[in-house]
Amino acid sequence: MDKNNTRSGIPKEKFEFADRDSTISEKKFNHKPIGYFRDAWNRFRKNKASIVAAIIILLIVLYALIVPFLGISEEMNLYYAKKGPRMTWLRAFGIADGGVDEAFNDLTYIKLLAIGAAAEDRDGTASVSFAEGQTSEYQPVLESQGYTAQALPGGRYKFTYQARVDSYLQLGFVNMQVTQSEYAKILEWQEESGLQVIYPLIDEKSGYFYSGAPEADKANYWYKTNQRGAPVSVNEETGQVTALSLSTDLRLEDNYLRDANGDPVYHTYTGGGDIHTAAYKVRVLYYNYYQYRTGSEPNYLLGTDSQGYDMALRLAKGIRLSLLVAVFVSVINFMIGGIYGAIEGYYGGLLDLIMERISDILSGVPFIVVATLFQIHLAQKLGPIPGMLFAFVVTGWIGTASRMRSQFYRFKNQEYVMAARTLGARDRRIILKHIFPNTLGTLITSIALVIPGVVFNESMLSFLGIVNLGTAETTSLGTLLSDASSIWTNYPHLMIIPAVVISLMMICFNLFGNGLRDAFNPSLRGVEE
Amino acid sequence: MIKYVIKRILLMLFVLFAITTICFMLIRILPREIPQDKVLQQAYRDRWEALGYDEPLMIQFGIYLKNIFTNFDFGTSWYVSPNTPAAEVLLDRLFPTILVNLYSLLLSVPLGLMFGVLAAVKKNKWQDHLISTMVIVFVSVPSYVYAFLVQYFLYFEWGLFPLNVYSLADAGGSWFTFKMFYSMVPAILSLSFGTIAGLCRFTRAELTETLTSEYMLLARTKGLTRWQATVRHALKNAMVPILPMILSGFVGILGGSLIIEQIFSIPGVGQLYIKAINLLDYDLFMMDTIFYTAIGLLSGIVIDLSYGFIDPRIRMGEK
C-alpha cells in the first residue's frame, strides 16, 4: 500500500531504467559460489556454543600435545605420591602451596613442628630451640588454625590441632640406603649448594626411641620420647624421665646416634660390596634430597597422581590416549560403516536383508560383553589397547552403517541418480560421485558424535577394571579416575582434575557435534536421536 | 498386527540364539580357572568331566542348550558363590538392581517430562535457555562424576547419607525398609541426573514439533486456551514417541548400571558381572551375557511394538 502511494507521488518522468544497455544475463557472479561445505561453515560459525566448544577442544588437544615435551620428569616418586598442587613461584600468591588441612593430636603436632628445628640443626647439637624451628623454611605448618580441647575422664584433655600443612615438607626425614659412591656425591652436592641433605641418624636403641611409629615416620622422631611417642626430658644423673608438653619454650632433647666422642653419626655401614656398592644407612631431609636428585624444588602444577607421577604429565598422556583411541575408532567406523551402509542401501533387496540381520546380531551383543571378551582373548597377545580398539570397532560401525543406509535409500531413487544411470554410469560411479557426497554431512556428524561415546566407554572400561591401561608410559583418563576412586576422599585433587577434564571433553564434543549436525543438516535442528 | 508381533519376537529369538552361540564358543574356548585348593581342584575336575566340559565344543553347546530347555539350568557358579546354579545367583542379585533403578526412574520420569514441557512451552525464553544448557551439561557428564559429587556433598560435606548402600542385614532384613531406601538415595540421585536430562531433551524436541503443527492452530482458533490446547493436543501427540522411550527405560532397569553399582557397592547384577570377570567364573559370565543381551533386545522390541499400541494410526509391519 505504502509503496504504491510513494510511487504515485513521484512524477513518471523522474523514473528511468537503470541498466538499459547492459544485459545482466551474461554476467558472471562477482562473488564466489557458496558450496556445500562453505554453506555449512557459515552456519556453524553463527553457533556460538559450538565455536566455544571447538576452541576448548583445541586447547585440550594442545595441552595433550605440548605438555609431554616440556621436559617434565617422567620419574615415579613414591615418597611424593598423591600430593597436592605445588608451584614454588605460585606460593607467594597463596595458591598451589601443596597445602592440605589436617587435624593432629598433640603428639603428632609436636612431631610436625619439630621437623623445622631438626632441619635447622645441621650439626646435630640440638642447638636450635623448638621455637626457633618454627621460622625454618622446612617447617611444614603453613597456617595454624587453632585447636579444640575435649575433656576426658580423669581431668585430662584431648587436644586436636587444626592446621594447614605443606604436604611435601610434612614428609620430613626419611631413612634410606645409599651406596658409598652416592653418599660421596651427596656430600659433594651439599658443599656446592649449601643445602644439607644428610642429617644425623637416630639412636634406635637408646630406650627413648618411639619404635611404635609408622615406618615412614620413624626418621621424624629425632627427639627422646616415651613409648607413646610423647617427648620426654631425661635427667642425666638421676635418670628421671619427665614428659614434655607443647608450649612456646619447649626444648626437645635429641636422640641422635653418637660415636665414642659424642659426635653425631651420619651414616652406618649396613653391609655388602666394594667401595662403590657398599650400602650406607642414612637419614635424609627428603625435601633437600629431592633437590639433590632433580635439581629443583618439587614443582607439580597439578600435584602428583596416586603412584607418584606428575599429574600434569599423566593427564596429558591420558588425554592423548583417550583422544587417539576415539579418533582412531571413529575413522575406522567411518570407513567400515560407510561402505557397509552404502552397499546395503544402494543394492537393497535380499542382500540388504542379510546384511541387516548380521548387523542386528552384532548390535545385539552388549558392548560391555564384547569389550570383556576381547580383553580376555586378546590382551595377553596384543596388549590391552589393541584389544579395546577391536571391541570398539566390532560394534561401533553399526550406527554409522544404518545412518548411511537410510541416506542411500533416500537418494538412490532421485532424478539425478536416474539420469546418471541412463547416461551409462556404473554403480561404483553413482555411489561414489553422485550419492556419497550428499551423505557426507550426516557421516561427519556421526563421526563427531562417536568421539564422546568412545571417550566415555574407554573411561568406563578402565574404571571398572575390565581394561587395564595404566603402565609407566601410558595411562588413560579412566585409569586415573579408577586409581583415585578408593582414596580420593583424602586426596580430592586425584579425582577432581581428571573428572573435570573428562566432563569438559564430553560436553564440548557433544556441543561441537550438535553444531556440526545443525550446520550440515539444518532441517534436523533440535531433533535428537 | 499379531503377525508382525510374532515376526518380531521370532526375529528376536533368532538374534538371541545367534549371540548366545557366538558368546558360548568364545567363552568356552578360554582355559578354565583351576582352584588352588587340592581337594577342591579334584572335586571341580570330576564335576566338570561329569558335566561334559571336556567334550568337543559343539557337543558342549548341545548339552548347554539341553540343560537350559529341560532344567532351566544355565550352568554353575564356581567361584562367586561356589556350586550354586548360575541362574539362581543372578536372580538373587536382580532385586537390588531393580529397586534402585525403579526408584531412580520414578524420580526422573516426572521431572524429565516437567522440565521438557517447560522448555518447549517457553521456547527461546530464558527458561528454555537455562534448561537446554543444563541438559547439555547433564547429558554429557559421565554418571560416575555425579556419583562422586553426590558422595562428596551428601556424605563428606554434609554427612546426610551413608557412603554405601546398606547390606540387607544392616537395613533390617528387607529391601523395603525405610533405612534401605535412605541408604539408596545417593545412588538413586546419581542415576537420575542423566536420565532426567535425556528425557527432558527428548520431550522438548518432540513437543516443540507438535506445538508448531496445524492442529494446534485449529485448537486455538476453536477457542481453547493455550494451556488446554497444549495439554490436550500437543502433549498427547508428543507422547507417541516419548512413551515407548519411557517403557524401554522400565525394561532397562533390569540391567542397571555397572558403574553406579560398583561405586555404591549395591549387590546387584552389574556388580555380579564385574565379580564374575575378576574371578573368571565363566558360567556366570555366560549367564550374565545372555541376560544383558536379552534385556537389550527386549527393550528394542518394546519400543517398536508400543508405538502401534499407543498410536493406532501407525500401522505396524507396513512398508
Residue linked to cell 603428632? A108
Reference A363, options A397, A333, A327; nearest CA is A397
Phi/psi for A270 (5° steps) reads -110, 10
Question: How many other CB atoms are found less than 10 A from the CB of residue A427?
Answer: 11
Helix (H) or strand (E) holding A23: none
Measured distance CA(B149)–CA(B162) in Å, rounded: 14
CA A130 to each of CA A35, A115, A133, A203, B122: distance values in angstroms, whole numbers, following the listed order: 78, 9, 5, 20, 68
Q: Who contacts A339 (Cβ-Cβ below 8 Å, separation ≥6)?
A: none
Tell me which residue in B19, B140, B202 faces A528 most closely, judged by beta carbons.
B202
* ipTM score assigned to the predicted complex: 0.86
Q: Is the pLDDT of residue A38 over 70?
A: yes
Q: Is the pLDDT of residue A301 over 60?
A: yes
* Beta-ladder partners of A166: A99
Question: How many other CB atoms are found less than 10 A from the CB of residue A191?
Answer: 8
CA B48 to each of CA A66, B34, B52: distance values in angstroms, whole numbers, following the listed order: 55, 11, 6
Measured distance CA(B112)–CA(B34) in Å, rounded: 49
Q: Do B293 and A366 touch (CB under 8 A)?
A: yes
Chain B residues whose beta carbon lies within 8 Å of the beta carbon of residue A499: 145, 148
pLDDT tens across A162-213, in order? 888 888 888 888 888 888 888 888 888 888 888 888 888 888 877 788 877 7
Per-residue pLDDT of chain B (319 residues; tens, 9 = 90+): 788 888 889 989 999 999 999 999 988 888 877 777 788 888 888 888 878 787 888 888 888 888 888 888 888 888 888 888 888 888 888 888 888 899 999 999 999 999 999 999 888 889 888 998 899 889 888 888 888 888 888 887 787 788 777 776 676 667 777 778 888 888 898 889 989 999 999 999 889 888 888 888 899 899 988 888 888 888 888 888 888 888 888 887 777 788 888 888 888 888 888 888 888 888 888 998 999 999 889 888 888 888 877 877 766 555 4
Signed CA dihedral, B192, B151, A97, A87: sign only: negative
Domain ranges of chain A: 52-67+310-524, 86-294
Phi/psi for A157 (5° steps) reads -125, 145
Domain ranges of chain B: 92-281
CA A19 to each of CA A29, A30, A410: distance values in angstroms, whole numbers, following the listed order: 17, 17, 45
Tell me which residue in B23, B201, B278 faces A528 most closely, judged by beta carbons.
B201
The vertex-A257 CA angle with A253 and A258, nearest 5°, equals 100
CA A465 to each of CA A82, A329, A340, A368, A456: distance values in angstroms, whole numbers, following the listed order: 20, 21, 33, 12, 14
Measured distance CA(B108)–CA(B37) in Å, rounded: 48
C-beta of residue B303 within 8 angstroms of C-beta of residue B249 = no
More confident residue, B76 or A351: A351
Q: What is the pLDDT, as a whole number, of residue A57?
A: 93
Q: What residue ranges in A130-278 does DSSP mark as E strands? A: 141-151, 157-166, 173-179, 198-199, 232-234, 241-243, 267-271
C-alpha cell at B19: 549371540
Q: Is the pLDDT of residue A120 over 60?
A: yes
> DSSP states of chain B as a string?
-HHHHHHHHHHHHHHHHHHHHHHHHHHHTSPPP--SSHHHHHHHHHHHHHTTTTS-HHHHHHHHHHHHHHH----EESSSSTTEEHHHHHHHHHHHHHHHHHHHHHHHHHHHHHHHHHHHHTTTSHHHHHHHHHHHHHHHS-HHHHHHHHIIIIIIIS--S-SSPPPTTTTTS-TTSHHHHHHHHHHHHHHHHHHHHHHHHHHHHHHHHHHTSHHHHHHHHHT--HHHHIIIIIHHHHHHHHHHHHHHHHHHTTT--HHHHHHTT--SHHHHHHHHHHTT-HHHHHHHHHHHHHHHHHHHHHHHHHHHHH-TTS-TT--
Q: Who contacts A81 (Cβ-Cβ below 8 Å, separation ≥6)?
A: A304, A305, A306, A307, A308
CA-nearest residue to A486 within chain B is B263
Residue linked to cell 598442587? A85
More confident residue, A507 or A261: A507
pLDDT tens across A10-21, in order? 787 787 777 777
The vertex-A503 CA angle with B249 and A56, nearest 5°, equals 130
Residue A361 touches chain B, beta carbons under 8 Å: yes
- pTM of the predicted model, to two decimals? 0.83
C-alpha cell at B312: 493406532
pLDDT tens across A443-479, in order? 888 888 888 889 888 888 888 888 888 787 788 888 8
Q: Do A366 and B289 touch (CB under 8 A)?
A: yes
CA A522 to each of CA A34, B44, B202: distance values in angstroms, whole numbers, following the listed order: 16, 63, 18
> In A, residues 33-62, which contact B (CB 8 Å cutoff)?
49
C-beta of residue A117 within 8 angstroms of C-beta of residue A141 = no
CA-nearest residue to B157 within chain A is A489
pLDDT tens across A238-294, in order? 777 777 777 777 777 788 888 888 788 888 887 777 767 788 888 888 888 888 888
C-alpha cell at A323: 583422544
Residue linked to cell 556388580? B271
Residue A230 touches chain B, beta carbons under 8 Å: no
Measured distance CA(A144)–CA(A146) in Å, rounded: 6
Measured distance CA(B192)–CA(B101) in Å, rounded: 9
A6 confidence band (pLDDT: 50, 70, 90): low
Domain formed by A52-67+310-524, architecture: Orthogonal Bundle (1.10)
Q: What is the DSSP letter of A330?
A: H
Measured distance CA(A362)–CA(A344) in Å, rounded: 16
- Residue of A369, A487, A491 for testing the chain B interface, max B β-carbons within 10 Å: A369
How big, in percent rounded to 5, are the helix, strand and coil portions of chain A?
A: 55, 15, 35
CATH of domain B92-281: 1.10.3720.10
Residue A488 touches chain B, beta carbons under 8 Å: yes
Q: What is the pLDDT, as a whole number, of residue A526?
A: 47
A528 confidence band (pLDDT: 50, 70, 90): very low
Measured distance CA(B168)–CA(B181) in Å, rounded: 11
Reference B169, options B161, B160, B179, B159; nearest CA is B179
Q: Do A481 and B23 touch (CB under 8 A)?
A: no
C-beta of residue A261 within 8 angstroms of C-beta of residue A161 = no
